[in-house]
Amino acid sequence: MLKIFMPNEHVKSIFEITPEYLLEKGIKGIITDLDNTLVPWNVADATPKVKQWFNAMTEHDIKITVMSNNNEDRVKVFSEPLKIPYVYKANKPLGKGFKKAVSIMGIEKKQVVVLGDQLLTDILGGNLAGLYTVLVAPIVETDAKITKFNRKIERRILRSLRKKGMINWEE
C-alpha cells in the first residue's frame, strides 16, 4: 500500500531538473505544483531564477502546465505573466486535474512528469494517474493550514517508507 506514495525520484529543488535530463528520459511535458514547489506558498510571482528555468524548458520544446489545488486568482497571477497554462482547484490527488493538464499539453501521459512537494496530493495523484513523479523538497518550512495537516501524515508515511528501506534520501 505504501508504494502508491513512492515518487519515482526525489530532488532538493526544481533546478535539479534540466531539459537535457528530461529529454533523455523521453519527457516532453511537465505538470508542476505551484506552492512550495516553484515559489513559497505566500509569494505571488515567479522569481528570476524560476523564470529562467521555465524559459530553458520552453527553449527545449518541453511543455509546462501549472496545476494547483489553490484558487484561480492565486494560480492565474503566477501563471499568466509567464504565458503558462494552468489548472486551478485541481482537487489533487483526484485524477481529473491530471487528465486535464495532460490534455492541455497534447502529449501522451508516458511523456509527462509531475513535480510537487507533497506526497498526499502531487505524488499520490500523479502515481494514480500513471505518470512519472518527482518529489521536490518544499521551498520553505511554513505552510498554509491544510498543508500543515497533510505534512503530519506525510512525515508518518516517509518514516514508514524509510523503515522499510524504500527510500534513502534525507527529509
Query: What would the pLDDT profile of 24-64 be if each residue is shown by its tens digit?
Result: 999 999 999 999 999 998 889 999 999 999 999 999 999 99
For residue 38, which of 10, 70, 72, 78 has the smallest C-alpha distance? 78
Q: Rounded to an integer, what distance in angstroms lies between the CA atom of residue 33 and that of residue 28?
A: 17
What pTM, to 2 d.p., does this model score?
A: 0.90
What CATH number has the domain bearing residue 55? 3.40.50.1000
Q: Give me the residues paired with residue 39 across strands.
A: 35
Residue 25 within any structural domain of the chain: yes
Percent of the chain with pLDDT over 90: 76
Residue 157 within any structural domain of the chain: yes
Residue 53 is classified by DSSP as H
Kindly report, residue by residue over 109-159, the tens digit of the pLDDT: 999 999 999 999 999 999 999 999 999 999 877 666 667 777 788 888 888
Residue 169 within any structural domain of the chain: no
Which pLDDT value is given to residue 73? 96
- Reported as type and span, the H/E element at residue 99 is helix 95-105
Which pLDDT value is given to residue 169? 66
Residue 144 within any structural domain of the chain: yes
Please answer whether residues 154 and 171 qualify as being in contact, where contact means their C-beta atoms are separated by less than 8 angstroms: no
Torsion of CA 67, 73, 78, 79, to 10 degrees: 60
Mean pLDDT across 5-22: 95
Which pLDDT value is given to residue 144? 62
Q: Rounded to an integer, what distance in angstroms lies between the CA atom of residue 33 and that of residue 139?
A: 12
Q: Which domain holds residue 108?
A: 2-163
The domain total for the chain is: 1
